[in-house]
Structure 1
């Protein structure tokens, strides 16, 4: 179903309360119970009296309990709503399988679906569970260890151009999966890219950064991967990053230097790293780097 101009506005600006009020009127004409839900939730944002707030919340809860199952039934089979706004799915989750790309394409036709979570399918999860441990992903020479085998083929068939958040956390796709994702059709609209615990190394990070498909990313979650200093240097292609999580990657002093030299260094609002990730020499580099904002330099001086 093609989005109306008002629906497209709300996809782009989901916090526009006036637009939601106008959309409530549209839904009322269609006898859609979400019209009443929007009305109640908008009133709740304006109400200051405790008694009225409790009454409104109670009615919201009853209305949601009555209709949410039928509202979620608008999603394709195999697609789960994991976040909602006024009863509409805004983030959906899909377990990876040969059918996943088609299911995702259909799910993204939802009126306000702009966030996607891709989870490992059964075969991939079983293989990962068999090999997974809390041990480091690096050997005694600080070189990345091989990942367990799994299926992550088909990423190149994805078209994620219509979403703002792509979440693959804990799906151990490794460099092959990252390369497939780099080849996926996309209009570069993703602002949040969550790749925590994905087993991606420097080659995969370089492929994602160089693809141009994720040039709009502001928040990059790369915790506990297999990144080295070389991989951090490749991240420079993500020129618009404001929040960066690189914890539990052994990037060393070379990685710290690469961060300092990155084009986004001066725009960083949040940088998550541990002392052991960058080494003592890396801490000193970050603490004295004029390219970093003052608050970040101060943080590293206190480490």
Structure 2
């Protein structure tokens, strides 16, 4: 997509009102109604409480009138998940052979900095419930892993948020993903139900693009106590989900030694994940915030 004059301004200061207002003037000159939307949102945020409801109705009406046209700007197969001033900021793509090309096109959009790569339509439930072939025990076999090479070829350097939940990338896929994140500034990474092992987590932890990671979701993977040491690379974590992994007491020891443990705000685990002994350590160790200790004393 061609970059308009002045379009760099919101990228330079994405949360700065002056940047967006200046860009709104550019859009208005080009006849793009999103220039007016920026002005309306700005007025709404600063209006008196008595005026906000009417202004919100005007904003919503403008968005409803033009949303279909804005959605049509995205490539077929790419869905806008969230928008700012009418521009897609987070998009979703279903995984398929065509997904890498679609993702490349989607990330050319002006303000897309968050991406969800979803499993193929038939795999949109937990992979445990996948109704495919049966394994040697007669149980439903999980879907096959995503081809690691396809992940390695993606350029994800502009993203701040990446959601691969329920996409079975496995350990090799996680290592390939780390290669595609050689540069960047990811702050939120969702890898729930990805069939990832300790080696895959170690590869991701070594990626320079994840040094500023704040939120990491690893629910139900194949992680063990050994993998918990890799988490030490993520020094700025404030939210960590490790539910349904075999962490054990040894894994708790590794977590308690992590540099983020004193400032983490959410640490999602179950007693069964860490054992009774591990739960006791979480309840008593003064290195973790008092609110988290209080929770573990109550379970």
Normalised-by-shorter TM-score class: 0.7 to 0.9
Stretch moving more, 232-241 or 122-131: 122-131
- Residue-pair matches, total: 290
1:152 has 2:147 as partner: yes
Counterpart mapping for 1:140-289 below 5 A: 147-153=142-148, 154-289=150-285
Query: In structure 1, what is the equivalent of residue 86 of structure 2?
Result: 87
| Aligned counterparts of 1:237 and 1:244: Cα–Cα separation in 2 | 13
Contact 2:6/2:26 (8 A) holds in 1: no
Query: In structure 1, what is the equivalent of residue 48 of structure 2?
Result: 48
Give secondary structure in 2 for the equivalent of 1:283: helix
Query: In structure 1, what is the equivalent of residue 67 of structure 2?
Result: 68
Q: CA deviation at 1:125?
A: 5.5
Contact 1:123/1:150 (8 A) holds in 2: no
Contact 2:83/2:89 (8 A) holds in 1: yes
Q: CA deviation at 1:7?
A: 4.0
Given the superposition, is the C-alpha separation of residues 12 and 171 from structure 1 closer, same or farther in structure 2, using an over 3 Å criterion? farther
Query: In structure 1, what is the equivalent of residue 298 of structure 2?
Result: 302
Q: CA deviation at 1:126?
A: 9.3
Query: In structure 2, what is the equivalent of residue 10 of structure 1?
Result: 10
Q: CA deviation at 1:59?
A: 1.9
Q: CA deviation at 1:239?
A: 2.4
| Aligned counterparts of 1:9 and 1:221: Cα–Cα separation in 2 | 32
| Aligned counterparts of 1:9 and 1:40: Cα–Cα separation in 2 | 19
Query: TM-score if structure 2 supplies the norm length?
Result: 0.87
Query: In structure 2, what is the equivalent of residue 135 of structure 1?
Result: none
Give secondary structure in 1 for the equivalent of 2:216: strand
Given the superposition, is the C-alpha separation of residues 22 and 96 from structure 1 closer, same or farther in structure 2, using an over 3 Å criterion? same
| Aligned counterparts of 1:91 and 1:67: Cα–Cα separation in 2 | 18
Q: CA deviation at 1:156?
A: 0.2
Give secondary structure in 2 for the equivalent of 1:183: helix
Q: CA deviation at 1:218?
A: 1.0
Counterpart mapping for 1:101-120 below 5 A: 101-120=100-119
| Aligned counterparts of 2:36 and 2:207: Cα–Cα separation in 1 | 44
Query: In structure 1, what is the equivalent of residue 21 of structure 2?
Result: 21
Contact 1:127/1:149 (8 A) holds in 2: no
Contact 1:252/1:278 (8 A) holds in 2: yes
| Aligned counterparts of 1:293 and 1:8: Cα–Cα separation in 2 | 41
User: Structure 2: which 5+ residue stretches go unaligned?
Assistant: 134-140
Query: In structure 1, what is the equivalent of residue 77 of structure 2?
Result: 78
Contact 1:157/1:185 (8 A) holds in 2: no
Given the superposition, is the C-alpha separation of residues 229 and 85 from structure 1 closer, same or farther in structure 2, using an over 3 Å criterion? same
Stretch moving more, 213-222 or 109-118: 213-222
Query: In structure 2, what is the equivalent of residue 96 of structure 1?
Result: 95
Give secondary structure in 2 for the equivalent of 1:82: strand
| Aligned counterparts of 2:264 and 2:208: Cα–Cα separation in 1 | 20
Cα RMSD (Å) of the superposition?
A: 2.6
Query: TM-score if structure 1 supplies the norm length?
Result: 0.86
Query: In structure 2, what is the equivalent of residue 58 of structure 1?
Result: 57
| Aligned counterparts of 1:126 and 1:149: Cα–Cα separation in 2 | 14
User: Structure 1: which 5+ residue stretches go unaligned?
Assistant: 133-145
| Aligned counterparts of 2:248 and 2:190: Cα–Cα separation in 1 | 22
